[in-house]
Amino acid sequence: MKQGTHLHLIGIEGIGMSALARVLVAEGHKVSGCDLRPAENARALAAIGVDVFPEHDPNHLQGVDQLVVSNAVPETHPEVQTARERGIPVQKRIELLAEILARARSIGVTGTHGKSTTTAMLGQIFLAAGLDPTVLVGAKVPDFGSNARIGQGRYRIAEIDESDRLFPEARVDVAVLTNLEDDHIGDTRPSYHPSEAALRQAIRRWLERAGKVVYNADWPHLSPLLPDTERIGFGRQRGELRAQALRLEATGSTFSLVYDGRVLGEIHLHLPGAHNVENALAAAAAALSEGVEFEAIQAGLRAFKGIGRRFERVGQVGPVPIYDDYAHHPTEVAATLRTAKQTGRRVRAVFQPHRYRRTAQMWRRFAEALAIADEVVVLEIYAAGEAPIPDVSGEKIAQALKALGVTASYLGWDEALDHLRQSLEDRDLILTIGAGDVWRLARQLVQAGEAVWR
Protein backbone atom coordinates (compact mmCIF):
# COMPACT_ATOMS: atom_id res chain seq x y z
CA MET A 1 0.00 0.00 0.00
CA LYS A 2 1.49 3.32 -1.09
CA GLN A 3 1.85 6.11 1.44
CA GLY A 4 -1.00 8.56 1.08
CA THR A 5 -3.54 5.92 0.03
CA HIS A 6 -7.09 7.02 0.89
CA LEU A 7 -8.87 4.30 2.86
CA HIS A 8 -12.52 4.52 3.87
CA LEU A 9 -13.63 2.39 6.84
CA ILE A 10 -17.27 1.39 7.26
CA GLY A 11 -18.16 0.94 10.94
CA ILE A 12 -15.31 3.17 12.10
CA GLU A 13 -16.78 3.55 15.61
CA GLY A 14 -16.07 -0.14 16.24
CA ILE A 15 -13.26 -0.97 18.64
CA GLY A 16 -11.30 -2.91 16.02
CA MET A 17 -11.83 -0.51 13.14
CA SER A 18 -10.96 2.59 15.17
CA ALA A 19 -7.65 1.02 16.26
CA LEU A 20 -6.74 0.29 12.63
CA ALA A 21 -7.62 3.86 11.69
CA ARG A 22 -5.08 5.17 14.22
CA VAL A 23 -2.31 3.02 12.74
CA LEU A 24 -3.19 4.04 9.19
CA VAL A 25 -3.04 7.74 10.09
CA ALA A 26 0.36 7.20 11.73
CA GLU A 27 1.59 5.49 8.54
CA GLY A 28 0.74 8.58 6.52
CA HIS A 29 -2.48 7.45 4.84
CA LYS A 30 -5.62 9.51 4.35
CA VAL A 31 -8.43 7.95 6.38
CA SER A 32 -12.16 8.51 6.36
CA GLY A 33 -14.99 6.46 7.77
CA CYS A 34 -18.67 6.27 8.52
CA ASP A 35 -20.92 4.73 11.14
CA LEU A 36 -24.62 4.61 11.91
CA ARG A 37 -23.82 5.67 15.48
CA PRO A 38 -20.54 7.60 15.59
CA ALA A 39 -19.63 8.31 19.20
CA GLU A 40 -16.55 8.55 21.41
CA ASN A 41 -14.15 6.60 19.15
CA ALA A 42 -15.21 8.57 16.08
CA ARG A 43 -14.79 11.88 17.89
CA ALA A 44 -11.28 10.91 18.97
CA LEU A 45 -10.40 9.96 15.38
CA ALA A 46 -11.76 13.24 14.05
CA ALA A 47 -9.35 15.01 16.41
CA ILE A 48 -6.38 13.38 14.60
CA GLY A 49 -7.61 14.24 11.11
CA VAL A 50 -9.98 11.42 10.18
CA ASP A 51 -13.10 12.46 8.25
CA VAL A 52 -16.02 10.76 9.97
CA PHE A 53 -19.50 10.72 8.42
CA PRO A 54 -22.76 9.74 10.11
CA GLU A 55 -24.97 7.25 8.29
CA HIS A 56 -23.93 5.47 5.07
CA ASP A 57 -23.82 7.02 1.62
CA PRO A 58 -22.06 6.03 -1.65
CA ASN A 59 -20.94 9.68 -1.93
CA HIS A 60 -18.46 8.91 0.86
CA LEU A 61 -16.37 7.07 -1.75
CA GLN A 62 -15.35 10.20 -3.63
CA GLY A 63 -11.55 9.99 -4.06
CA VAL A 64 -11.29 6.73 -2.07
CA ASP A 65 -8.63 4.21 -3.13
CA GLN A 66 -9.68 1.32 -0.87
CA LEU A 67 -12.78 0.39 1.11
CA VAL A 68 -12.42 -1.52 4.40
CA VAL A 69 -15.40 -3.31 5.95
CA SER A 70 -16.11 -5.36 9.03
CA ASN A 71 -17.89 -8.71 9.01
CA ALA A 72 -21.12 -6.95 9.90
CA VAL A 73 -21.20 -5.22 6.50
CA PRO A 74 -22.97 -7.30 3.80
CA GLU A 75 -22.25 -7.31 0.07
CA THR A 76 -25.61 -5.60 -0.44
CA HIS A 77 -24.44 -2.50 1.45
CA PRO A 78 -24.78 0.51 -0.89
CA GLU A 79 -21.19 1.66 -0.34
CA VAL A 80 -19.86 -1.84 -1.03
CA GLN A 81 -21.94 -2.14 -4.19
CA THR A 82 -20.78 1.26 -5.43
CA ALA A 83 -17.15 0.38 -4.70
CA ARG A 84 -17.49 -2.84 -6.72
CA GLU A 85 -19.04 -0.92 -9.63
CA ARG A 86 -16.21 1.66 -9.59
CA GLY A 87 -13.44 -0.94 -9.26
CA ILE A 88 -12.44 0.23 -5.78
CA PRO A 89 -10.85 -2.69 -3.87
CA VAL A 90 -12.94 -3.92 -0.94
CA GLN A 91 -10.97 -5.37 1.96
CA LYS A 92 -12.10 -7.10 5.15
CA ARG A 93 -10.93 -5.67 8.48
CA ILE A 94 -8.92 -8.79 9.36
CA GLU A 95 -7.17 -8.66 5.96
CA LEU A 96 -6.05 -5.09 6.63
CA LEU A 97 -4.84 -6.11 10.09
CA ALA A 98 -2.84 -8.91 8.48
CA GLU A 99 -1.16 -6.37 6.17
CA ILE A 100 -0.31 -4.08 9.07
CA LEU A 101 1.20 -6.93 11.09
CA ALA A 102 3.21 -8.19 8.12
CA ARG A 103 5.19 -4.93 8.09
CA ALA A 104 6.89 -5.67 11.43
CA ARG A 105 7.90 -8.36 13.91
CA SER A 106 4.42 -9.42 15.05
CA ILE A 107 2.79 -10.96 18.10
CA GLY A 108 -0.89 -11.94 17.95
CA VAL A 109 -3.11 -12.91 20.87
CA THR A 110 -6.28 -14.95 20.50
CA GLY A 111 -8.53 -17.20 22.60
CA THR A 112 -12.00 -17.16 24.09
CA HIS A 113 -11.02 -15.23 27.21
CA GLY A 114 -8.31 -12.75 28.14
CA LYS A 115 -7.26 -11.55 24.68
CA SER A 116 -7.55 -7.83 25.35
CA THR A 117 -5.91 -7.87 28.78
CA THR A 118 -3.05 -10.11 27.62
CA THR A 119 -2.42 -7.91 24.56
CA ALA A 120 -2.34 -4.76 26.67
CA MET A 121 -0.05 -6.42 29.22
CA LEU A 122 2.34 -7.37 26.43
CA GLY A 123 2.35 -3.79 25.22
CA GLN A 124 3.20 -2.55 28.71
CA ILE A 125 6.02 -5.10 29.06
CA PHE A 126 7.58 -4.20 25.70
CA LEU A 127 7.25 -0.53 26.59
CA ALA A 128 9.11 -1.18 29.86
CA ALA A 129 11.79 -2.98 27.84
CA GLY A 130 12.32 0.16 25.73
CA LEU A 131 11.06 -1.54 22.55
CA ASP A 132 8.47 1.16 21.71
CA PRO A 133 5.83 -1.23 20.27
CA THR A 134 2.70 -0.52 18.26
CA VAL A 135 -0.22 -2.21 20.01
CA LEU A 136 -3.80 -2.78 18.84
CA VAL A 137 -6.29 -3.82 21.53
CA GLY A 138 -10.01 -4.59 21.44
CA ALA A 139 -10.63 -2.31 24.42
CA LYS A 140 -9.65 1.09 25.78
CA VAL A 141 -6.30 0.99 27.62
CA PRO A 142 -5.84 3.90 30.06
CA ASP A 143 -2.05 3.59 29.87
CA PHE A 144 -2.22 4.07 26.06
CA GLY A 145 -4.94 6.72 26.07
CA SER A 146 -7.00 4.76 23.54
CA ASN A 147 -7.40 1.28 22.04
CA ALA A 148 -4.13 1.60 20.13
CA ARG A 149 -0.58 2.67 20.90
CA ILE A 150 1.56 3.91 18.04
CA GLY A 151 5.26 3.17 18.44
CA GLN A 152 8.37 3.37 16.29
CA GLY A 153 9.90 0.05 17.34
CA ARG A 154 10.10 -3.18 15.36
CA TYR A 155 7.22 -4.90 17.18
CA ARG A 156 3.52 -4.84 16.41
CA ILE A 157 1.30 -6.56 18.96
CA ALA A 158 -2.37 -7.17 18.23
CA GLU A 159 -5.46 -8.84 19.57
CA ILE A 160 -6.76 -11.33 16.98
CA ASP A 161 -10.52 -11.93 17.10
CA GLU A 162 -11.09 -15.68 16.83
CA SER A 163 -14.79 -15.15 16.08
CA ASP A 164 -13.85 -13.81 12.62
CA ARG A 165 -13.71 -16.79 10.27
CA LEU A 166 -10.90 -15.13 8.33
CA PHE A 167 -8.64 -14.70 11.36
CA PRO A 168 -6.13 -17.42 10.24
CA GLU A 169 -5.17 -14.95 7.49
CA ALA A 170 -3.55 -12.75 10.14
CA ARG A 171 -0.19 -14.50 10.15
CA VAL A 172 2.08 -13.59 13.10
CA ASP A 173 5.61 -14.39 14.17
CA VAL A 174 4.48 -15.27 17.72
CA ALA A 175 0.99 -16.72 18.24
CA VAL A 176 -0.43 -16.56 21.78
CA LEU A 177 -3.41 -18.82 22.58
CA THR A 178 -4.92 -17.94 25.95
CA ASN A 179 -7.58 -20.70 26.02
CA LEU A 180 -10.46 -21.96 23.86
CA GLU A 181 -14.14 -22.66 24.55
CA ASP A 182 -17.37 -23.12 22.61
CA ASP A 183 -18.24 -19.53 21.79
CA HIS A 184 -19.09 -17.98 18.42
CA ILE A 185 -20.19 -21.29 16.93
CA GLY A 186 -23.29 -22.75 15.30
CA ASP A 187 -24.23 -20.09 12.74
CA THR A 188 -23.57 -19.25 9.09
CA ARG A 189 -22.71 -15.58 9.65
CA PRO A 190 -19.05 -14.45 9.27
CA SER A 191 -18.72 -13.73 13.01
CA TYR A 192 -19.45 -17.38 13.82
CA HIS A 193 -17.88 -20.73 13.01
CA PRO A 194 -20.29 -23.46 11.87
CA SER A 195 -19.19 -25.82 14.64
CA GLU A 196 -16.72 -26.23 17.49
CA ALA A 197 -14.68 -28.53 15.25
CA ALA A 198 -14.49 -25.77 12.63
CA LEU A 199 -13.30 -23.27 15.25
CA ARG A 200 -10.62 -25.67 16.46
CA GLN A 201 -9.48 -26.28 12.88
CA ALA A 202 -9.22 -22.53 12.30
CA ILE A 203 -7.10 -22.17 15.45
CA ARG A 204 -4.87 -24.99 14.23
CA ARG A 205 -4.37 -23.25 10.85
CA TRP A 206 -3.48 -19.98 12.57
CA LEU A 207 -0.96 -21.65 14.87
CA GLU A 208 0.62 -23.57 11.98
CA ARG A 209 1.36 -20.31 10.17
CA ALA A 210 3.17 -18.79 13.17
CA GLY A 211 6.89 -18.88 13.80
CA LYS A 212 6.43 -19.88 17.44
CA VAL A 213 3.48 -20.63 19.72
CA VAL A 214 2.70 -19.64 23.32
CA TYR A 215 -0.23 -21.57 24.80
CA ASN A 216 -2.08 -22.23 28.03
CA ALA A 217 -0.83 -25.64 29.21
CA ASP A 218 -3.52 -25.79 31.92
CA TRP A 219 -6.09 -26.35 29.14
CA PRO A 220 -5.15 -29.91 28.05
CA HIS A 221 -7.51 -29.95 25.06
CA LEU A 222 -5.28 -27.35 23.37
CA SER A 223 -2.46 -29.86 22.93
CA PRO A 224 -3.92 -31.54 19.79
CA LEU A 225 -4.03 -28.13 18.10
CA LEU A 226 -0.33 -27.38 18.54
CA PRO A 227 1.96 -27.56 15.50
CA ASP A 228 5.42 -29.09 15.52
CA THR A 229 7.17 -25.77 16.04
CA GLU A 230 8.91 -23.82 18.78
CA ARG A 231 6.49 -23.34 21.66
CA ILE A 232 6.19 -22.37 25.31
CA GLY A 233 3.43 -23.56 27.61
CA PHE A 234 2.32 -21.48 30.58
CA GLY A 235 0.00 -22.16 33.48
CA ARG A 236 -0.58 -22.31 37.19
CA GLN A 237 -0.15 -26.09 37.22
CA ARG A 238 1.50 -27.02 33.90
CA GLY A 239 3.93 -25.66 31.34
CA GLU A 240 7.47 -24.35 31.23
CA LEU A 241 6.39 -21.02 32.72
CA ARG A 242 4.42 -21.16 35.96
CA ALA A 243 3.13 -19.08 38.84
CA GLN A 244 4.15 -20.41 42.24
CA ALA A 245 3.50 -19.20 45.79
CA LEU A 246 0.43 -17.38 44.49
CA ARG A 247 -1.30 -14.94 46.84
CA LEU A 248 -4.67 -13.63 45.66
CA GLU A 249 -5.98 -10.49 47.35
CA ALA A 250 -8.93 -8.16 46.84
CA THR A 251 -6.84 -5.57 44.99
CA GLY A 252 -4.29 -7.71 43.15
CA SER A 253 -1.98 -10.68 43.42
CA THR A 254 1.63 -11.67 44.00
CA PHE A 255 3.44 -14.77 42.74
CA SER A 256 6.85 -16.14 41.86
CA LEU A 257 7.53 -16.50 38.14
CA VAL A 258 9.21 -19.84 37.50
CA TYR A 259 10.68 -20.78 34.11
CA ASP A 260 11.97 -24.31 33.47
CA GLY A 261 12.19 -24.88 37.22
CA ARG A 262 14.17 -21.68 37.87
CA VAL A 263 12.67 -18.86 39.93
CA LEU A 264 13.03 -15.63 37.95
CA GLY A 265 11.58 -13.38 40.63
CA GLU A 266 8.38 -12.03 42.11
CA ILE A 267 5.53 -10.52 40.10
CA HIS A 268 3.10 -7.99 41.55
CA LEU A 269 -0.20 -7.38 39.75
CA HIS A 270 -2.55 -4.55 40.60
CA LEU A 271 -5.43 -6.49 39.03
CA PRO A 272 -7.41 -8.95 41.17
CA GLY A 273 -8.49 -12.41 40.08
CA ALA A 274 -6.83 -15.71 39.22
CA HIS A 275 -7.75 -15.20 35.56
CA ASN A 276 -5.50 -12.14 35.43
CA VAL A 277 -2.63 -14.26 36.74
CA GLU A 278 -3.12 -16.48 33.67
CA ASN A 279 -3.20 -13.41 31.42
CA ALA A 280 0.06 -12.20 32.99
CA LEU A 281 1.66 -15.61 32.45
CA ALA A 282 0.65 -15.54 28.78
CA ALA A 283 2.18 -12.09 28.32
CA ALA A 284 5.33 -13.05 30.23
CA ALA A 285 5.79 -16.23 28.19
CA ALA A 286 5.49 -14.36 24.90
CA ALA A 287 7.95 -11.72 26.10
CA LEU A 288 10.46 -14.32 27.28
CA SER A 289 10.18 -16.11 23.93
CA GLU A 290 11.38 -12.87 22.30
CA GLY A 291 14.31 -12.43 24.68
CA VAL A 292 12.80 -9.73 26.90
CA GLU A 293 14.56 -9.54 30.27
CA PHE A 294 12.69 -10.53 33.44
CA GLU A 295 13.16 -7.06 34.93
CA ALA A 296 11.14 -5.52 32.07
CA ILE A 297 8.42 -8.15 32.49
CA GLN A 298 8.31 -7.45 36.22
CA ALA A 299 8.19 -3.67 35.72
CA GLY A 300 5.63 -3.80 32.93
CA LEU A 301 3.21 -6.00 34.84
CA ARG A 302 3.61 -3.96 38.03
CA ALA A 303 2.81 -0.77 36.10
CA PHE A 304 -0.20 -2.22 34.27
CA LYS A 305 -3.47 -0.68 35.47
CA GLY A 306 -5.94 -2.76 33.49
CA ILE A 307 -8.24 -1.97 30.57
CA GLY A 308 -11.68 -0.53 30.14
CA ARG A 309 -14.68 -2.66 31.10
CA ARG A 310 -12.63 -5.40 32.80
CA PHE A 311 -13.71 -5.22 36.47
CA GLU A 312 -13.51 -1.48 36.02
CA ARG A 313 -14.45 0.64 39.01
CA VAL A 314 -16.66 3.37 37.55
CA GLY A 315 -17.43 5.17 40.82
CA GLN A 316 -19.47 4.79 43.96
CA VAL A 317 -22.78 5.70 45.55
CA GLY A 318 -22.14 6.61 49.18
CA PRO A 319 -19.88 3.81 50.44
CA VAL A 320 -21.05 1.38 47.72
CA PRO A 321 -18.49 0.73 44.92
CA ILE A 322 -19.88 0.34 41.39
CA TYR A 323 -17.99 -1.90 38.95
CA ASP A 324 -18.52 -2.85 35.32
CA ASP A 325 -17.24 -5.82 33.34
CA TYR A 326 -17.44 -6.95 29.70
CA ALA A 327 -17.90 -10.65 30.58
CA HIS A 328 -20.30 -12.33 28.15
CA HIS A 329 -19.42 -16.04 28.43
CA PRO A 330 -20.20 -18.19 31.50
CA THR A 331 -16.51 -18.79 32.24
CA GLU A 332 -15.85 -15.04 32.18
CA VAL A 333 -18.91 -14.28 34.29
CA ALA A 334 -17.82 -16.78 36.95
CA ALA A 335 -14.25 -15.41 37.02
CA THR A 336 -15.51 -11.84 37.39
CA LEU A 337 -17.91 -12.73 40.19
CA ARG A 338 -15.25 -14.70 42.08
CA THR A 339 -13.06 -11.59 41.87
CA ALA A 340 -15.90 -9.45 43.24
CA LYS A 341 -16.53 -11.89 46.10
CA GLN A 342 -12.90 -11.50 47.22
CA THR A 343 -13.79 -7.99 48.42
CA GLY A 344 -15.95 -9.45 51.18
CA ARG A 345 -18.94 -7.34 50.15
CA ARG A 346 -22.47 -8.45 49.21
CA VAL A 347 -22.22 -8.80 45.44
CA ARG A 348 -25.28 -7.64 43.52
CA ALA A 349 -24.92 -8.32 39.80
CA VAL A 350 -26.84 -6.83 36.89
CA PHE A 351 -26.43 -9.14 33.90
CA GLN A 352 -27.30 -8.26 30.32
CA PRO A 353 -27.13 -11.37 28.07
CA HIS A 354 -25.37 -10.72 24.75
CA ARG A 355 -26.81 -12.22 21.54
CA TYR A 356 -29.82 -14.51 21.22
CA ARG A 357 -27.89 -17.51 19.89
CA ARG A 358 -25.35 -17.44 22.71
CA THR A 359 -28.16 -17.18 25.27
CA ALA A 360 -30.07 -20.05 23.65
CA GLN A 361 -26.96 -22.22 23.83
CA MET A 362 -25.74 -21.24 27.31
CA TRP A 363 -28.61 -19.96 29.48
CA ARG A 364 -28.26 -22.79 32.02
CA ARG A 365 -24.51 -22.26 32.23
CA PHE A 366 -25.02 -18.53 32.69
CA ALA A 367 -27.33 -19.23 35.62
CA GLU A 368 -24.77 -21.54 37.21
CA ALA A 369 -22.04 -18.90 36.84
CA LEU A 370 -24.23 -16.05 38.08
CA ALA A 371 -25.18 -18.08 41.14
CA ILE A 372 -21.84 -17.02 42.66
CA ALA A 373 -23.43 -13.58 43.26
CA ASP A 374 -25.61 -12.81 46.28
CA GLU A 375 -28.29 -11.25 44.07
CA VAL A 376 -28.77 -11.08 40.31
CA VAL A 377 -30.87 -8.74 38.21
CA VAL A 378 -31.21 -10.03 34.65
CA LEU A 379 -31.97 -7.59 31.83
CA GLU A 380 -33.31 -8.36 28.38
CA ILE A 381 -30.91 -9.68 25.75
CA TYR A 382 -28.69 -7.21 23.89
CA ALA A 383 -29.30 -8.43 20.34
CA ALA A 384 -26.08 -7.16 18.67
CA GLY A 385 -27.93 -7.23 15.34
CA GLU A 386 -29.37 -10.73 15.77
CA ALA A 387 -33.06 -11.51 15.20
CA PRO A 388 -34.95 -12.73 18.30
CA ILE A 389 -35.29 -16.47 18.85
CA PRO A 390 -38.70 -17.62 20.13
CA ASP A 391 -38.79 -18.46 23.85
CA VAL A 392 -35.23 -17.16 24.41
CA SER A 393 -34.98 -14.23 26.81
CA GLY A 394 -33.25 -13.03 29.94
CA GLU A 395 -36.21 -14.38 31.90
CA LYS A 396 -35.02 -17.96 31.30
CA ILE A 397 -31.80 -17.16 33.14
CA ALA A 398 -33.63 -15.45 36.02
CA GLN A 399 -35.95 -18.45 36.42
CA ALA A 400 -33.00 -20.85 36.42
CA LEU A 401 -31.30 -18.75 39.11
CA LYS A 402 -34.40 -18.88 41.29
CA ALA A 403 -34.47 -22.66 40.88
CA LEU A 404 -30.90 -22.68 42.20
CA GLY A 405 -32.01 -20.76 45.29
CA VAL A 406 -30.48 -17.42 44.24
CA THR A 407 -32.26 -14.12 44.81
CA ALA A 408 -32.95 -13.08 41.21
CA SER A 409 -35.29 -10.91 39.17
CA TYR A 410 -35.97 -10.18 35.51
CA LEU A 411 -36.40 -6.42 35.12
CA GLY A 412 -36.49 -3.71 32.50
CA TRP A 413 -33.76 -1.06 32.44
CA ASP A 414 -35.57 1.61 34.45
CA GLU A 415 -36.98 -0.97 36.86
CA ALA A 416 -33.48 -2.30 37.52
CA LEU A 417 -32.13 1.18 38.14
CA ASP A 418 -34.96 2.04 40.54
CA HIS A 419 -34.57 -1.28 42.36
CA LEU A 420 -30.88 -0.65 42.98
CA ARG A 421 -31.38 2.97 44.01
CA GLN A 422 -34.03 2.05 46.56
CA SER A 423 -32.28 -0.94 48.11
CA LEU A 424 -28.58 -0.03 48.38
CA GLU A 425 -26.87 -0.90 51.64
CA ASP A 426 -23.42 -0.02 52.96
CA ARG A 427 -22.14 -3.58 52.50
CA ASP A 428 -23.05 -3.83 48.80
CA LEU A 429 -20.93 -4.01 45.67
CA ILE A 430 -22.81 -3.38 42.41
CA LEU A 431 -21.44 -5.08 39.31
CA THR A 432 -22.87 -4.64 35.81
CA ILE A 433 -21.92 -7.48 33.46
CA GLY A 434 -22.24 -7.92 29.70
CA ALA A 435 -20.83 -7.00 26.28
CA GLY A 436 -23.75 -4.74 25.33
CA ASP A 437 -24.60 -1.32 26.74
CA VAL A 438 -25.15 -2.35 30.37
CA TRP A 439 -22.15 -0.15 31.24
CA ARG A 440 -24.50 2.81 30.86
CA LEU A 441 -26.60 1.58 33.78
CA ALA A 442 -23.56 1.54 36.05
CA ARG A 443 -22.76 5.11 35.10
CA GLN A 444 -26.35 6.24 35.51
CA LEU A 445 -26.30 4.85 39.03
CA VAL A 446 -23.04 6.66 39.80
CA GLN A 447 -24.29 9.92 38.32
CA ALA A 448 -27.22 9.90 40.71
CA GLY A 449 -24.57 9.90 43.47
CA GLU A 450 -25.52 10.96 46.97
CA ALA A 451 -28.96 12.06 45.73
CA VAL A 452 -30.04 8.41 45.81
CA TRP A 453 -28.26 7.52 49.04
CA ARG A 454 -30.52 7.27 52.02
Per-residue confidence (pLDDT) for residue 189, from 0 to 100 = 79
CATH code for position 21: 3.40.50.720
pLDDT per residue over 218-241, tens digit each?
999 999 999 999 999 999 999 999
Residue after which a domain boundary falls, among 303, 333, 351 = 303
Q: Would you say residue 99 lies in a domain?
A: no
Q: Which domain holds residue 369?
A: 312-452
Q: Across all residues in the chain, what is the average pLDDT?
A: 95
pLDDT at 453 over 70: no
Q: Would you say residue 364 lies in a domain?
A: yes
Per-residue confidence (pLDDT) for residue 71, from 0 to 100 = 83
Q: Would you say residue 268 lies in a domain?
A: yes
Per-residue confidence (pLDDT) for residue 385, from 0 to 100 = 84
Residue 207 sits in the same domain as residue 344: no
CATH code for position 243: 3.40.1190.10
Q: Would you say residue 254 lies in a domain?
A: yes
Residue 65 sits in the same domain as residue 154: no
Averaged pLDDT for residues 49-66? 95
Residue after which a domain boundary falls, among 256, 271, 303 = 303
pLDDT per residue over 378-430, tens digit each?
999 999 889 999 999 999 999 999 999 999 999 999 999 999 999 999 999 99
Local confidence band at 186 (pLDDT 50, 70, 90 cut-offs): confident
pLDDT at 295 over 60: yes
Per-residue confidence (pLDDT) for residue 311, from 0 to 100 = 95
Q: Would you say residue 98 lies in a domain?
A: no
Per-residue confidence (pLDDT) for residue 1, from 0 to 100 = 80
pLDDT per residue over 252-281, tens digit each?
999 999 999 999 999 999 999 999 999 999
Residue 317 sits in the same domain as residue 254: no
Q: Would you say residue 331 lies in a domain?
A: yes
Averaged pLDDT for residues 34-44? 92
Residue 368 sits in the same domain as residue 411: yes
> Which is it for strands 174-177 and 212-216: parallel, antiparallel or unpaired?
parallel
pLDDT per residue over 342-380, tens digit each?
999 999 999 999 999 999 999 999 999 999 999 999 999
Residue after which a domain boundary falls, among 249, 272, 303 = 303
Q: Would you say residue 14 lies in a domain?
A: yes
Residue 214 sits in the same domain as residue 164: yes
Residue 113 sits in the same domain as residue 228: yes
Alpha carbon 200 to chain centroid distance? 19
The tally of domains found in the chain comes to 3
CATH code for position 356: 3.90.190.20
Averaged pLDDT for residues 448-452? 60
Q: Would you say residue 1 lies in a domain?
A: no
Residue 126 sits in the same domain as residue 275: yes
Residue 374 sits in the same domain as residue 281: no
Residue 281 sits in the same domain as residue 324: no
Residue 186 sits in the same domain as residue 321: no
Residue 324 sits in the same domain as residue 383: yes
- pTM comes to 0.93
What strand order describes the sheet that includes 30-35?
51-54, 30-35, 6-10, 66-69, 90-92
Local confidence band at 337 (pLDDT 50, 70, 90 cut-offs): very high
Residue 109 sits in the same domain as residue 237: yes
